[in-house]
């Protein structure tokens, strides 16, 4: 068929908050000097970032008691001391300007009675610094960034293009391959620099807050390209996914005063074995474990129809007026999807896969690194796809959209600077394009087999059963065996029924399933490898944190078709030494 070539100075993979923030920074600093392309597998404003709800963390009011040191300490403590402290300091110091920039660009932040931007409490934070736009923060940030980007020229959108792989040769980024869903053809994008902003891996799990598009494509592509994946064992489960569908019930609901109740109507988070001081506003890993413990000890409700466990999130005492003002989407979601009005009765919730602390190995400036710490020239990663590492073993709520903004700004500046001072690298070897064509269209040639969605469903259930909040070594071994069986089934028997070229979503779904299988292998092997409990990674056979042996980052690197080898990276500790966490 032949591969057509498209050329830009900089290409951004992904159009969520991180990708759009990078695009805005490139244009506002360099204008028409940079020819920019933004590639998204969905329509630009359909990126998963629109689903973020509760807040964006930043120090806005030091005169009222907040400080960079407090934000940094909360973040590092929340990370269970696996965060790189230089990255955290960089992050907290850059965030206030991001809030004010968005404000100047038209972001509809909620306001206090004195007219200043409103912030609310979030779990693990010692000051109410979750900057809020009611409970529609992600959508409003996306809209604000996109409207700002429209002020500039010389950039092009590639909506509904699916990136299959990118090429690194001799430590240099050489380009990426993408399918245009509108014609089914494979294209080679060449550029001087590229930013990976493809989001997280949440669709590894059946019960998740993620959109169906969150299949971790950037992480899987990086793994196949030989790039290390940092700390992939750390998957965050948000304490309050709506039962039975997993839709996010923002931490802002607890920040506004919501309480968690078991089937005895006890406020269990107040017990000494949970978080007697912070209660519902402990860090997410702590709250999720306490909820699952209630279930394991027989104090959860069981949904009669789905047999799913749940506990109750009670907002009724907040009153209708406050719910309508600060949690309007949560009320709408609860009524629409569960038939429950939270102003009148509690909401059924349970921990759902929500965020991936791991990601593509980068330095504190989001430059993609190889195993030895060398920069892959021209390549950057931003947002949830990256691991700088600001979040370590557990992310605090409101720090995700914040890091998307900071990492987008940094990568936008550095990618543009690199592009204006560099030549277009040589194209990948011609045989590489032929290999990619064979790889992409090989699935279409298969005449029979098993649909990819069946394999994907089995994978999601496997991850829920064997790599959920609590992890048992025997169960994980069984789960890994199932993952390897599913990988074999996919590569030998996956079948794409649709043989057409235009909008072949069946083929795209198969490619996403392949990426999920790669990501499952990485997460599973890394979880089995880390023999301690830290943050979101809770091993029943190693219930304590082990700083003597495991105060280090995992680097997971491809080793053949079905294996992962491990290297390690030191944690930067320049301010606070690890201590035991209490909430």
**pLDDT confidence bin for 443, thresholds 50/70/90:** confident
192-211: average pLDDT: 97
Alpha helices in 230-361 (DSSP H): 252-255, 284-296, 320-326, 328-338
Q: How many CB atoms lie within 10 A of CB 52?
A: 26
119 part of a folded domain: no
Distance separating alpha carbons of residues 217 and 519, to the nearest angstrom: 9
Specify whether the CB–CB gap between 437 and 186 falls below 8 A. Answer: yes
Q: Which of 86-90, 218-222, 273-277, 361-365 has the lowest mean pLDDT?
A: 273-277
**Chain segment 476-531, per-residue pLDDT in tens:** 999 999 999 999 999 999 999 999 999 999 999 999 999 999 999 999 999 999 99
Instruction: Specify the pLDDT at position 111.
Output: 97
Q: Which of 544, 427, 370 is nearest to 175 (CA)?
A: 427
Residue 367's DSSP bridge partners are: 380
315 part of a folded domain: yes
333 part of a folded domain: yes
Kindly tell me the burial class for residue 427, based on how many C-beta atoms sit within 10 Å of its own C-beta (0-12, 13-18, 19 or more): middle
Active site residue 391: no
Please give the angle made by the CA atoms of 540, 572 and 274, to the nearest 5 degrees: 35
Instruction: Specify the pLDDT at position 271.
Output: 94
pLDDT over 90 (residue 561): no
Residue 326 sits in a domain whose CATH number is 3.90.700.10
Counted domains in the chain:
2
Instruction: Specify the pLDDT at position 361.
Output: 98
**pLDDT confidence bin for 447, thresholds 50/70/90:** confident
530 part of a folded domain: yes
Please give the angle made by the CA atoms of 546, 551 and 555, to the nearest 5 degrees: 120
pLDDT over 80 (residue 253): yes
pLDDT over 60 (residue 1): no
Question: Rg of the chain over CA atoms, in angstroms?
Answer: 23
120 part of a folded domain: no
Residue 523 sits in a domain whose CATH number is 1.20.58.100
- What is the H or E stretch that residue 417 is in? helix 399-420
Instruction: Specify the pLDDT at position 430.
Output: 86
Final residue of a structural domain among 315, 346, 377:
346
Q: Which of 164, 166, 174 is nearest to 377 (CA)?
A: 174
Ramachandran assignment for 497, one of left (phi > 0), alpha (psi -120 to 50 degrees), beta (any other)? alpha
351 part of a folded domain: no
Final residue of a structural domain among 323, 346, 369:
346
Residue 521's domain spans which residues? 443-546
User: What is the crossing angle of helices 17-30 and 399-420, to 10°?
Assistant: 40
152-164: average pLDDT: 97
Distance separating alpha carbons of residues 488 and 486, to the nearest angstrom: 5
Distance separating alpha carbons of residues 382 and 403, to the nearest angstrom: 8
Final residue of a structural domain among 304, 321, 346:
346
213 part of a folded domain: no
Q: What is the separation of C-alpha 57 from the centre of its chain, rounded to a whole number of angstroms?
A: 16
Residue 196 has which token pair? Answer: 């990976």
Percent pLDDT > 90 in the chain is 96
pLDDT over 90 (residue 49): yes
Instruction: Measure Cα distances from 338 to 30, 320, 353 in Å.
Output: 48, 18, 19
Among residues 254, 395, 545, 581, the one annotated as catalytic is 254
Active site residue 104: no
**pLDDT confidence bin for 293, thresholds 50/70/90:** very high
Instruction: Specify the pLDDT at position 51.
Output: 93
Among residues 48, 71, 129, 238, the one annotated as catalytic is 238
| CA dihedral of 377, 378, 382, 384, whole degrees rounded to 10 | -60
452 part of a folded domain: yes
pLDDT over 80 (residue 2): no
Query: Beta strand 229-230 with 552-558: parallel, antiparallel or unpaired?
Result: antiparallel
Specify whether the CB–CB gap between 284 and 123 falls below 8 A. Answer: yes
């Amino acid at each position: 068929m032949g591969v057509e070539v498209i050329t830009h100075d900089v290409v951004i993979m992904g159009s969520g908050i991180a990708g759009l923030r990078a695009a805005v920074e490139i244009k506002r600093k360099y204008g028409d000097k940079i020819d920019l392309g933004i590639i998204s597998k969905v329509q630009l404003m359909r990126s998963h970032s629109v689903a973020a709800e509760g807040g964006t963390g930043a120090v806005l009011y030091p005169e009222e008691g907040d400080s960079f040191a407090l934000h940094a300490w909360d973040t590092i403590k929340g990370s269970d001391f696996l965060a790189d402290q230089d990255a955290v300091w960089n992050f907290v110091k850059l965030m206030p300007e991001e809030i004010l920039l968005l404000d100047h660009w038209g972001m509809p932040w909620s306001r206090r009675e004195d007219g200043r931007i409103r912030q609310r409490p979030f779990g693990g934070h010692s000051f109410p610094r979750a900057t809020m736009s009611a409970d529609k923060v992600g959508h409003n940030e996306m809209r604000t960034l996109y409207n700002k980007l429209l002020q500039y020229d010389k950039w092009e959108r590639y909506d509904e293009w699916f990136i299959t792989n990118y090429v690194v040769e001799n430590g240099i980024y050489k380009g990426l391959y993408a399918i245009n869903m509108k014609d089914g053809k494979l294209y080679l994008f060449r550029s001087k620099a590229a930013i990976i902003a493809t989001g997280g891996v949440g669709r590894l799990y059946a019960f998740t807050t993620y959109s169906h598009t969150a299949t971790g494509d950037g992480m899987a592509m990086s793994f196949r390209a030989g790039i290390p994946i940092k700390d992939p064992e750390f998957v965050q489960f948000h304490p309050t996914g709506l039962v039975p569908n997993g839709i996010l019930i923002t931490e802002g609901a607890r920040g506004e005063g919501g309480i968690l109740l078991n089937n005895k109507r006890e406020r269990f988070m107040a017990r000494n074995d949970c978080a007697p001081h912070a209660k519902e506003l402990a860090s997410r890993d702590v709250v999720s474990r306490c909820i699952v413990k209630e279930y394991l000890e027989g104090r959860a409700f069981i949904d009669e129809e789905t047999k799913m466990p749940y506990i109750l999130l009670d907002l009724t005492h907040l009153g209708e007026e406050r719910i309508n003002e600060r949690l309007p989407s949560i009320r709408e979601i609860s009524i629409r999807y569960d038939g429950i009005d939270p102003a009148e009765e509690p909401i059924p919730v349970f921990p759902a896969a929500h965020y991936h602390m791991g990601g593509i190995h980068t330095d504190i400036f989001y430059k993609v690194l190889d195993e030895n710490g060398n920069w892959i020239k021209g390549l950057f990663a931003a947002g949830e796809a990256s691991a700088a590492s600001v979040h370590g073993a557990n992310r605090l709520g409101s720090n995700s959209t914040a890091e998307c903004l900071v990492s987008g700004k940094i990568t936008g500046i550095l990618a543009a600077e690199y592009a204006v001072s560099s030549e277009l690298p040589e194209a990948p070897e011609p045989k590489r394009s032929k290999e990619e064509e064979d790889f992409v269209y090989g699935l279409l040639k298969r005449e029979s087999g098993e649909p990819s969605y069946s394999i994907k469903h089995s994978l999601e259930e496997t991850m829920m059963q064997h790599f959920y909040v609590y992890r048992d070594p025997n169960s994980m071994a069984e789960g890994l065996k199932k993952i390897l069986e599913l990988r074999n089934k996919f590569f030998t028997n996956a079948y794409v029924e649709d043989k057409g070229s235009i909008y072949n979503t069946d083929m795209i779904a198969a490619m996403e399933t392949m990426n999920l299988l790669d990501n499952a292998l990485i997460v599973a092997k890394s979880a089995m490898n880390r023999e301690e409990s830290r943050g979101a990674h809770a091993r029943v056979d190693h219930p304590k944190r082990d700083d003597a042996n495991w105060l280090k980052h995992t680097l997971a690197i491809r080793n053949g078709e079905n294996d992962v080898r491990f290297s390690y990276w030191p944690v930067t500790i320049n301010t606070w030494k690890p201590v035991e966490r209490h909430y």
